[in-house]
A and B are shown apart, each in its own frame.
Chain A
Amino acid sequence: MAADGAWIGRSLRRVEDPRHLTGTASFVDDIRRPGVLALAFTRSAQAAARVAGLETEAARGTDGVRAVLTAADLGDVEPLVPRLDRPDFVAVELPLLARDRVRHVGEPLAMVVADTPHAAEDGAERVVVDYEPGRAVSSIEAAVADDAPRVHDGGNVLLDTAFHDDPALDELLEDAALVLEESFASARLSAVPLEGRACLAEWDDRDQRLTLWTSTQVPHLVRTTVAALLRLPEHRLRVIAPDVGGGFGQKCVVAREEALTCIAARRLGAPVKWVEDRQESLVAGFQGHEQRFHIRAGFDDEGRLLGLAADILCDVGAYSTHPFTCGVEPLMAATELLGPYAVRHYRARARAVATNKSPMAPYRGVSRPQMVLAMERLLQKAAMRLDVDPVEIRRRNLILPDAFPWTGPAGLVIDRGSYHEALETCAEALDIDAFRERQSAAREDGRLLGLGLACFAERSGYGTEAFNQRKMTVTPGYETAVARMDPSGGVTVYVGTSGHGQGHLTTLAQVAADQLGVDPAQVEVRQSDTDATPYGWGTFASRSMVVGGGATKRATLALAARIRRLAAHLLEAAPEDIELREGRAVVRGSPERGLSFADVGRVAYLEAQRLPPDQDPGLECQASFDPPGTFSNATHGCVVEIDRETGAVAIERYVVVEDCGVMINPAIVEGQVRGGVAQGIAAALYEELVYTEEGQLQTASLMDYLVPTAAEIPAVEILHLETPSEFSETGAKGMGEGGTMGAPACVASAVADAVAHLGIEIDRLPIRPDDVLAALHAAERKEGSGAR
């Protein structure tokens, strides 16, 4: 038996780094195929319009253009109909190409295939669209107004779920010592992966097969979906995700463009490549996080949150996306709003509201950045009203250490974590008492300092049952791994997860290495190719290390057992006496009696006559894992200063205390935390997709959509706690989204803390300097008039 833990827990350098640092990585656009043609889309310039005519003649006549395809040319290709099997859900068709009606700016209307990307764009802009513009719905408020124009004929509410009811709640909200009624709002965001979406499709006449290289997080799901749309048996479609430049959820759903690129390649009999540019990515890429929370909450006089009723609205854009649908944000918000707080009485209504904007897809954090904002600001407001210390009010409400597993009022079970310890550790790191002194001294000088906190639970690694509760038509959850030793003794692990920046080639090899007693450098991890890997759900929802890592551990443990059995037979020892270490199978206590993995591999494949009678040739094991899910936890804390003359917020310190159970590779964990915090700070202070009332995007370039640079992001101090999960094979918990979940609330509560004494509330993201300044002036005016 290998000593577990020899490689798990080490900050090994990432296997993926050299390719990125030396430019040898291969993204979709780097893949060269002979005779490749370029695809560009003509996209709707209108948010809501009837398409009275589509004139393609000029486009067809453009130099270098080979073909122009519109909805009329697609024949009987069906639309996608993303669906949840529940009565409160309204399914709407998502046409691959719009035919007679467009519902958002950027909706694809025609595809132009040409010799070069330049010629394809020349052609795409010559497709003449005759729009009869209608009234657009460009905000949640407009969508639910009584006389709202309809995005779809059935109305604008695509999911209206009443989540849990509690008859005791109404009385409680009447009688509580403190009842707060508050609203919170967050802006629409783009995930802005460094690499936009991209596809290359090639039909092989000899094999009668199609290959699709696509920048995706979910290659098997793309295969299943696109094969059905193309009416191909799945075994005749191979989907490969080569190096993928980030996804953050934007690439965990199936894009119209993936199917369309395949259709173009089949029609033209040539490889066809589409590479989304940045403008296209901002305009037509999937979006998310635009939500409104309206909350009524009752507290006792010591700040204990007794009960809470929430009304949640999510702007899901013009369509559902497959497979998670427009239900993903509202269902997540309603299910998990309470987070790590021990609240007994709860009710939520959550709605998915359609607008004339690009569709929503799950974006890192999915509703939890907004939920954490709502809960943390709520506690902060209550603390202020009741004159309770902000740390103390959290202490009084966090699930107590002896209460795990905690079953929330809606039945959600939270496994053991270090919620209180994380809070205390963070408070200590920030030295809050010293900060308060500094804050009041600064206030005397007219400076505004604030300290913010955010505590949260990060649900991760959930399996089939959790997804089944959403009633999806395809139910993700499990993962399968295949571990194979080859004749030379090398080990390859094939997984259905699909890393795209998370370092899985490194971390899964660390997991495998510990089971097999080899150096991780001896373990090759293969992913992201449907021809090579077992069916799996890909990489999203902080699932890969728990679920894929669990399957990897199980498959490599099974392989280790087979290696030991074969070695025992060859060494004439009992299998339980064989241990695997340093790439050898040796008899315990007599290290001179042993075989190298190369010897074992050679017998298994090349000298089958030496195998035990009951053992098949080869060395290959497959195993699956399908856990119920496990919660990471963290407390974020930060200190900010507001420039009271410009309204600008500067983050002086940022501390994360996180607990993701057993860390497979601490350096990678910290990288995930830093990146997540950066995206969370972006949501707190900078990024916002701004639409006009007509549904036109005003932030369609990185000059206007303010992705922060390294100069805006502070150093992040990270402290670790470790509560191993009982529900994962390795003790690890997923943690890929936590940074994004905590940072918006943490920054908002720090800004709010800086201006609380002026009566200013910070309940809307992003926090813009002009808004801050206007609020400061309004407070000054109020004070002035009060004095009179």
Chain B
Amino acid sequence: MKPAPFEYHRVERTEDALERLAELGDEAKILAGGQSLVPMMNFRLVRPPALVDISRIPDLRYVERDGDCLRVGALTLHREVEQLDDPALIRGYELLPRSARWVGHYPIRTRGTFGGSVAHADPSAEWCMLAVLLDATVVVSGPQGEREIPAADFFLGFFTTAMEPGELLVEVRFPRPRPHAALQEFARRHGDFAIVAAAVAVDVDGDRMTDARIVIGGVDEIPLRVTDAEAVLEGAEPGAEAFAEAGRAAGAAVEPSADIHGSAEYRKELTAVLVRRALAEAVGGEGGDGG
């Protein structure tokens, strides 16, 4: 569990990071919190010849409100998201701090970064799911300047994104508040990656739900939107019946594969249960922790 040899470069400005990445070529990896990359290197599952450590770039670590929009700097720690409590900042985005407790264990949250998790693109990672759920825009910086990638186009597969070599994720931008949103996960053990996770958001207009969004983690190569289940909720009255039906639709729509932690059938069942529970939590509006 010692990594293969690699070069280590530390930078303190985004421009320097881009410059160094350009020099080092396609195989170099960006090191932020190191909570996924370093274990993978220790298992020798990845062997980057060089690392560019961006963890000390000061101006990538922020959470800012810009009207409706919430901007999260790439180097913001999970723990910092967890601790967001200024209503002026997070109103309508309470799901973010509430979801942070699902991210690994406390020590991981004090080192791992928001942008690092999104760039790593584990399909059951909370921030990846919420990026898709909340229609976020991923801002990346590259040799040709910045570009913005909709989350829907960002995740391409297991640990694979639309970022090009030489690019650096600098910000995740959430466009509009969604107060009726929730995340539910199931894992056999506290702090583990979920066997299945379900994130939901709806708008509640009187006694009708609109603009429902349902994203499932752990059942596909990317955080998976299940539009069949979303359609069930469109215009439906909030309540146990609609939530259960959406759950069933989601369970029927996903095509998970099996591993030692659960069969495909089990994942489908969990999907149905977690979607239903997440909707109840989201529309309950209390922001209860769901358990």
Contact = CB atoms under 8 A, between A and B. Distances in A.
B1 A277 contact: yes
A703 to B, nearest CB: 7
Interface stretch (B77-85, B112-120, B165-173, B265-273): B265-273
Contacts of B8: none
A646 to B, nearest CB: 6
Contacts of A773: 266, 269
Nearest to A117: B2
B222 to A, nearest CB: 20
B224 to A, nearest CB: 20
A138 to B, nearest CB: 14
Contact of B266 (A117, A278, A770): A770
A665 B44 CA distance: 46
A699 interface: yes
Nearest to A276: B1
A189 to B, nearest CB: 15
B277 to A, nearest CB: 8
B260 interface: yes
Given A770-B262, A770-B263, A278 B1 contact: yes
Interface in B183-202: 186, 188-193
Interface string A694-713: 00001101011010110110
Given A646-B270, A704-B260, A686 B2 contact: no
Nearest to A40: B2
A16 interface: no
B8 to A, nearest CB: 13
Nearest to A280: B1
Contacts of A774: 265-266
B43 A701 contact: yes
Nearest to A770: B266
Given A279-B43, A701-B43, A690 B260 contact: yes
Nearest to A705: B260
Interface string B247-262: 0000000000000111
B189 A706 contact: yes
B276 to A, nearest CB: 9
Nearest to A690: B260
B273 to A, nearest CB: 4
A62 B281 CA distance: 57
A711 B191 contact: yes
A593 interface: no
A703 B260 contact: no
A718 interface: no
A648 B186 contact: yes
A121 B44 CA distance: 10
Which of A280, A685, A706 has the most chain B CB atoms inside 10 A of its CB? A706
A703 B263 contact: no
A769 interface: yes
A188 to B, nearest CB: 13
B12 to A, nearest CB: 27
A691 to B, nearest CB: 10
Nearest to B105: A709
A599 interface: no
B44 A279 contact: no
B3 A118 contact: yes
A278 B44 CA distance: 14
Contacts of B192: 703, 706
B260 A709 contact: no
Nearest to A646: B186
Given A706-B188, A711-B191, A712-B190, A646 B273 contact: yes
B190 A709 contact: yes
B4 interface: yes
B107 interface: no
Contacts of B265: 774
Interface in A755-774: 768-770, 773-774
A118 B2 contact: yes
A712 B43 contact: no
Contacts of A279: 1, 43
Nearest to A116: B2
What's the interface size class on A, roughly?
20 to 34
Interface in B147-199: 186, 188-193
A647 B269 CA distance: 11
A519 interface: no
Contacts of B270: 646
A391 to B, nearest CB: 31
Contacts of A685: 188
Contacts of B67: none
A280 B189 CA distance: 23
A61 to B, nearest CB: 15
Given A709-B189, A770-B263, A121 B273 contact: no
A711 B105 CA distance: 11
B36 to A, nearest CB: 11
B206 interface: no
B44 A125 contact: yes
B145 interface: no
Contacts of B266: 647, 769-770, 773-774
A648 B191 contact: no
A711 B192 CA distance: 12
Contacts of A125: 44
B188 A118 contact: no
Interface string A631-653: 00000000000000111100000
A122 interface: yes
B5 interface: yes
Given A117-B2, A277-B1, A773-B266, A711 B190 contact: yes
Contacts of B5: 63, 118, 122
Nearest to B263: A770
Interface string A675-693: 0000000000110001000
Contacts of A690: 260
B191 A709 contact: yes
B190 A769 contact: no
Contacts of A703: 192-193
A682 to B, nearest CB: 10
B269 A712 contact: no
Contacts of A647: 266
B260 A122 contact: no
Interface in A102-146: 117-118, 121-122, 125
Given A118-B2, A699-B260, A701-B43, A686 B188 contact: yes
A121 B47 CA distance: 13
A158 to B, nearest CB: 28
A121 B186 contact: no
Given A118-B3, A118-B5, A279-B1, A648 B188 contact: yes
A686 B189 CA distance: 8
A783 to B, nearest CB: 18
Contacts of A708: 189
Interface in A182-209: none
Contacts of B190: 709, 711-712
A214 to B, nearest CB: 20
A602 to B, nearest CB: 54
A704 B187 CA distance: 12
A117 B2 CA distance: 7
Contact of B260 (A278, A280, A698): A698
A647 B273 CA distance: 11
Interface in B222-268: 260-263, 265-266
Interface in A618-668: 645-648
Chain A to chain B: the 6 pairs with minimum beta-carbon distance, closest first: A711-B190, A277-B1, A770-B266, A118-B2, A645-B273, A121-B2
14 contacts: A279-B43, A646-B186, A646-B273, A686-B188, A699-B260, A701-B43, A706-B192, A709-B190, A711-B189, A712-B190, A768-B188, A769-B188, A773-B266, A774-B266
Interface of A: 63, 117-118, 121-122, 125, 277-280, 645-648, 685-686, 690, 698-699, 701, 703-704, 706, 708-709, 711-712, 768-770, 773-774
Given A121-B44, A698-B260, A704-B260, 7 more contacts: A118-B3, A646-B186, A686-B189, A699-B260, A709-B191, A711-B191, A769-B266
